Amino acid sequence: MFKNILGLAKISTFVGLTTGATIFFSHTLYFTYDPNTTNWKDIALVGCIGSLLASKVSVIGYKWAY
């Protein structure tokens, strides 16, 4: 049972950190800090894309991922 929990913790940590990094890098490199041009929907969309990509990598089970 604990082996499954540790695997789940590794996968969820990987997905969370990758999603956070995707949001951080996209916001600092692509979007501006002007509140009139940056919408929260843009940042949420990039976060969803990062979450989808990270979960796909973690479910497929690449050994280099985690």
Total of domains in the chain = 1
Q: What's the confidence (pLDDT) of residue 54? A: 86
Does residue 1 register a pLDDT over 60? no
In a domain, 1, yes or no: no
Calpha distance 29→62 (Å, rounded) = 27
In a domain, 44, yes or no: yes
pTM of this prediction? 0.70
Q: Which residues of 8-34 are buried (b: 16+ CB within 10 A; e: fewer)?
A: eeebeebbeebbeebbeebbeeeeeee
Q: What's the confidence (pLDDT) of residue 62? A: 64
In a domain, 3, yes or no: no
In a domain, 66, yes or no: no
In a domain, 27, yes or no: yes
33: which 2 tokens?
């800090």
In a domain, 5, yes or no: no
Structural domain that includes position 17: 10-60
Q: Give 5-64 pLDDT, tens digit per residue.
A: 887 888 888 888 988 888 888 877 776 666 677 777 878 888 898 888 888 888 786 665
